[in-house]
Chains A and B, each alone.
Chain A
Amino acid sequence: MPTIARPRTFDERSAGIGARTGLLKIDPVTAFAGIGLIVCSIVALGFTTQSEIAGDPYFFTIRQSIYAVIGIALMFALARIDYSRFRELRVGIYSAMIFTIVLVLFLGFAALGARRWIELPFFQFQPSELGKLLLVLALAGFAIDRARRQTAWQRTARLLLLGFVPALIVFVQPDLGTALVYGVITLAILFISGTPWQHFAALGGIALAAVAIVLLLAPAVGHPVLHGYQLDRLTSFLNPSDDPADSSYQTNQALTAIGSGGKTGRGEDATQVQNHFLPEAHTDFMFSAIAERWGFMGAALVLSLYALLIWRALRITTLSKNLYGSLVGAGIASMLLFQVFVNVGMNVGLMPVTGVPLPLVSYGGTSVLVTFMAIGVLQSIYVQSQLSSPGSLRTAL
C-alpha cells in the first residue's frame, strides 16, 4: 500500500538525511539485540569450532561472519521498505513459499534421501527457513483479507488450512521442527487477529485427538506417522538417563556440557565440545557449547539478548500503524520466541530434540539471513509507525 504524502513533522526536519533514508528512525534496541546475538555467535564459533574441520580452524567463523554482514545489510534494506506492500503481494509470497518447499521435497526424492536445502554456489539455501518469514507475511495478509466476507468459523478454518499445508510439506521432508514453527506462526496470527476463544478450545480438542491417533492408534494398526527416531526424540527427553547410547545421548551430553560450565565456564577446558562428546555443537547445540565454555554468565547474556529482542518485537506489535503490521510483528515475535524456547529448552533438557536452530546463534546461512530479514521487517513496522505518528507522541518507549 503506498504511503500517503503528509506534512513533515518537526522531528523529521531536524533529523535531515537520516530521516529521509529512514535509518535514524529504526529501533536501536532491536538492532542492538540482533547484532549482539550474531556477535556472540561469531565469537563462540571462533572459540569452539577450531578443530571441527582439519586445516581450516575458522571455517564456520568466517562463513557465519559473511552471513552476518549480508544479513545486517538485508535488515537495513528491509527497514526502509514499507512492509505494507507485502500485504498486497500475499498471494505471490505464499505461492513462492509453497513452490520452493515443494521443490526441495522433490529434489530430496531425486537424491533418494532427506534433503532440506538447495545447493547454491556459495551456500546451501534452505527454503523452509525462508518459509517461516514468508508464511508470517502472507498469513497476516490473508487474516485481514478474510475479515469481512466470512463467518468466524470459515475464516479460522481457512487460515488453519493455509498454515497447515506448508507445515505438512516440511513435515514430510522430514523436518518436524520447522513444521511446528509453521504451526505456531499460524496459531499466533489467529490469536492476535482476534479469533474467538471457543475456536481455540475446539482446536485443543482436535489436537489432543490427533496426538492420541499419532502416538497410540496409528502404530497399533501398523501405520506409524512419525519416524522411529522422531518418536524416540520426542519421548526420550522425559527420562534421559535411560539409554545413554541412544537418542537421549545428545540430551545427556548437552546437560553435562551446560552443567559443567558452572557459573563462569570452563574456558579452554571445555572438553565436552573439544572432544566432540557434544554432537552438533555448532548448530542445534550451540547454546550448550556457549554454556560450557562461558558458564551461566555467557548463557544468561545470550538469553537476555533474546528477551530484549522479543520484548521489542511485542512492543513493535503494539506500536504498528495498522493491523497488518501488528499481525506480522506478532507472528515474528512468536516465531522467534518459539524457536528460542524449543532450542534452549532442548539444550537444557526441558524440550525434546527437534532440530530447531537457535536464531542468529546456531551456525547456518539461511537461518541467519532470514532472522535478520525478520528483524528488518520489524524495523520497517517501527519506522512506519514513527513516520505516521504526529509529532513524537508515540515514542519508542
Chain B
Amino acid sequence: MTVELAILLAVAVPFAGAVLIPLTGAKPNLRETVTLVCAALLFYLVSVIYPIVAAGGVPEVYLFEMLPGLSVFFLVEPLGLIFAGIASFLWIATSVYSIGYMRGHNEENQTRFYAYFAIALGAAMGVAFAGNMLTLFIFYEVLTLSTFPLVAHSGTDEAKRAGRVYLGVLLGTSIGFQLLAIIWTWSLTGTLDFTDGGILAGKADGLTAGILLALYIFGIGKAALMPFHRWLPAAMVAPTPVSALLHAVAVVKAGVFTVVKVVVYIFGIDFLFDIGVSEWLQYMAAATILIASLVAMTKDNLKARLAYSTVSQLSYVILGAMLVTDLGIIGSGMHIAMHAFGKITLFFCAGAFMVAAHKTEISQMRGIGHAMPFTTLAFFIGSLSVIGLPPMGGLWSKWYLALGTLETGKLWLLGVLMVSSLLNVAYLLPIPFRGFFSSPEENPPLKSSHNHDSEHDHTHDQDRPKGIKEAPVACLIAIGVTSAGCLVLFFYPDPVYDLMRQIVAP
C-alpha cells in the first residue's frame, strides 16, 4: 500500500464506518464489530504512515481545488502523526470500553451514537492530516457538528442546554474569530499552506500579527482557553466514552493541536519570537492553568472535576506553544500525547464507577476501592500521569515544558507549572486514597443529586453485600490498556519525542 493511499483511507475509513453502522444497526453485535474493525484498520493505516514520516518524509495527497488558488489537501508531518496515532489507538480502546459501558448503562439510540462517533474520528483524522488551514478548518467544523449529537445524546433538557452552550461557544469562536483570522491570513499572504518557518513573516507587521494571533488562539475554541472554556464542562452530560475519547482526546487535542500548528507553520517560531506578541497569551494560559485547577477542586461531580482539569491541562499545551522556544514546542507536542493517555484513563474509571457502583459524586466514593480495586488502582495511575510524577509518561511533557520556561528565563512561569502540579495532587489523589483507605459508611448522606441513577440506586446501594463488583469486562480491558500506556510512555517516550524533535529542528 502506498502511503498516499494510506492517508486517504485513514480519513475515509471512519466515514465509511459511519455509513455501515446504521446499516447494521439492527444487529448490535455486528454493529460493534464494524466499529472495532474500523478502529483497528485505522490504527493499522496510521502505523503504515509512521515509518515514512519518522524517516523525515512529508507525504502529500491532493484532493481538489475549492476556491481558485486554494485547495484542499492532506500533508502528514510529525505533529499530525502524533495526534493521529493517539486518536486512532485510543479509538480502539474506547470502542471496547463503549461496548461495555453503553450496554451496561442501557443507553438509547446506540446506533446513532456509534455512527457520529465514527464521523468525529474521521474529522479528527482530517484535522491531523490537513495540509493547509482551510482543510483543517473544514474538518474542525465537521468535528464540532458531528459531536453535537453525542453531547445532546440523552435528549433531556439538561443535555439540550449543554448542547446549546457547546455549539454556541465552538461555532461562535470558530466563525467569529478563527474564520476571520484565516481569511485575513489568506488576503495578506495569498496562501494558507502549512509551511516550515511560517507564512506570515515579512507579510504582517507586529501589530497585525498580534491581533491575528489572538484571533487564532481564541478562535480555536476547542483549546478551551479561558474565557471560552465553558463548553467543555457542559459537554460532560454526554455518555462517558464521549467524554473520554472526544472531550479528553480527539476534540480538545484537535484544538491545542491546531494552536501548535498555527504557531509553528503559520506564524513560524522565529517570527513570533522576534515580534514578541505572544507574551500576554502566556499570561492568559497561565491564568487558565491556575484558575481551572482551583475550580476543579471545588467540583464534587467527578466528571466535572476532570473537565476542569482538562481545561487546565490544555493550557499547558497553549503555554508551551506561546513560549515560542524549541523546548516549549516539544513539551507541547508531548503533552498532547501524555495527557491523552492519563486523562482517558481517568474518564474510563469515572464511567466505570458510574456503571458498576452508580456513583458520580466524589463525596460518595469513599471506600470504593474495596468494591472496585482494579478501577481505583487505574485511577491512581492516571492521576500520577496527569500530575506528572514518575513512573508515568506525564513526567516527560512537564519536564520539557519546564525546560522551555527556563529557556525563556521566566521563572514565574516555572512557578505556575509547579503550583499547578501541586493543585493537581490536591484534587486528584484524594479520590483513590479515600477509595482505598476509607470505608463506605463514612459517605455523607446524599443531598440533592441531579443524577437519577444515584438517586434510585442509593437505597439498595447501602445494603449491598460487600465484595468485588467491577465494571463490565470490556470496560476493564480498556482501562487496563490505557493505564498501561501511561507506564509504557514513561519508559519509552522516544517515538513522540523524536517526532517533535523533527518539527523544531528539521
Question: Are A and B associated in one complex?
Answer: no
Using a CB–CB distance below 8 Å, which chain B residues touch chain A?
Answer: none
